[in-house]
Amino acid sequence: MFFTRHGLALSLIDQTHAHRQIGLRLDFEGARAGARPVGENRSPAFVSYFKGRPGQWKTKIPTYSSVAYHDLWPGIDLVYSGMHGNLKYTFLVQPGADPSQIRMRWRGQSALRLNARGQVEVSTAARNLLDAAPSSYQLAGNRRVAIKSSYLLAAHHSFGFNVGGYDRSRPLVIDPAVFVYSGFIGGSKDSSSSNVALDRSGDLYVIGDTTSSDFPVRVGPGKTYKDTGGLDDVVVAKVKANGRGLVYAGYIGGAKNDTAINIAVDRAGAAYLDGSTSSTQTDGFPVTVGPGLSYNGGGQDAWVAKVKPDGTGLEYCGYIGGKAPGIRSATTSRPTESPSIQPGTPMLGLYPIRRAQLPQYGQGRLHRHARPEGL
């Protein structure tokens, strides 16, 4: 995303062609010609770009938590900021200024509409964007006074605001936010997520735990909740990039407690998972191929698995562990590499060490590298 003199420029990855990008613009119509974006609320972080010869390097560039366009329309400021992972924008209308001057126009989208919730939907081949319905108010001392407001769609894919009656002698705040999507995944009992990953097409991968037998399974990898004792099964789901549904969702687990920790995704869309489990192979834990097909006898084992890109099954799933309890793990994966599993507690010399120079138990962390095929 780029802030320009004339508006915002966005570059989105096409869902159907991962190497193609779609350009999207939001122009400020009728805005003051001399308006410029200005960084505000300086943050402690700096960024540097080491490109070309040393004389061309850009170092210690300051960063800001918000970007403002002052007096973009007469008496109206526009401020962009980040909040909870979303882009938030706020119009500050000074006393006597006219909010009907605000007019913005989308370019590059396939459709623009106002939905039943009062949100502006911006449709593209890459994904859909939502402008949340505006929340407008004035301050009366320390108290917010809500002002009725809504979007007003105009010709040529432009929009502004309808604002109800308010005290024009005091400032007015018009306060929408941009959401790509937001929603729930779960059943009638407890469900939680432990980690997420994002692929090149913008699809979101979620891993977590649930005690719900009615989790919204779709495709796989597993369609049946196996923990008869009301303990956790692992769940993994792939959410469409536009947030409009699940590509797949399913269980991984056995009859005892199963816990998810991490997830990573490769360029083909295969998901690599890890966690810990007390379920043995006879408890129904879905071991296949490897790396280990037999539970190792401790209080819990680490497990790793690779989910097929379409979610229809597991390429591999297996144990890694020793005969003592207490495994924690972390999975990392670059798109061209197989995953690395880092158990947190080496197993008293009983851990399956292979082809590596490693410290003895108590002298450090153990690192294991899993092959892509799980063997």
The reported pTM is 0.50
Distance CA 367, CA 246 (A): 34
Q: Is 6 helix (H, G, I), strand (E, B) or coil?
A: coil
Look at residues 32, 38, 35, 28 and name the one whose alpha carbon lies nearest to residue 7.
28
- What is the arithmetic mean of pLDDT over 48-59? 84
d(CA 310, CA 221): 9
Q: Mean pLDDT across the stretch 212-226?
A: 72
Percent of the chain's residues with pLDDT above 90 = 23
List all residues 6 or more positions away from 29 whose beta carbon is below 8 Å from its beta carbon: 103, 104, 105, 158
Hey, how many other C-beta atoms are within 10 angstroms of the C-beta on 358? 15
Q: Give residue 235's pLDDT.
A: 87
Of 147 and 244, the structure prediction assigns the larger pLDDT to 147
Q: Which phi and psi (to 5°) does residue 19 adopt?
A: -95, 0
What per-residue confidence (pLDDT) applies to 136? 93
Q: Which residue has the higher pLDDT, 1 or 352?
A: 1
Helix extents (H) in the chain: none
Q: How far apart are CA 219 and CA 204, in angstroms?
A: 16
Neighbours of 320 (CB within 10 A): 23
pLDDT at 29: 92
Q: In this model, does residue 353 exceed pLDDT 80?
A: no
pLDDT at 209: 87
- Rounded to an integer, the average pLDDT of 334-341 is 47
Q: pLDDT digits over 98-157, tens only?
A: 999 999 998 888 888 888 888 888 887 766 777 888 889 999 888 899 999 999 998 888
pLDDT digits (tens, 9 = 90+) for 267-282: 899 999 999 888 888 8
Q: Which two tokens stand for residue 260?
A: 């998810």
How far, in Å, CA of 282 to CA of 294, rounded?
Answer: 9
Q: Give start and end residues of each alpha helix (H) in 211-360.
A: none
Q: How far apart are CA 228 and CA 251, in angstroms?
A: 14
Task: Tell me the mean pLDDT in the region 297-312.
Answer: 86
What pLDDT sits at residue 184? 67
> To which residue do tokens 């407001």 refer?
149
Whole-number Cα distances in Å, 115 to 108, 119, 120, 151, 202: 20, 6, 6, 10, 23
pLDDT at residue 47 in the model: 84
Q: Mean pLDDT, to the nearest integer, of 338-360?
A: 43
- Residue 31: both structure tokens together: 């805005």
Number of Cβ within 10 Å of residue 89's Cβ equals 20
Does the structure show a pLDDT above 60 at 347?
Answer: no
> Residue 126 is encoded by which pair of tokens?
């890459």
| DSSP β-ladder status, 2-3 and 58-73 | unpaired
| Listed range (48-62, 286-300, 341-355) with the worst mean pLDDT | 341-355
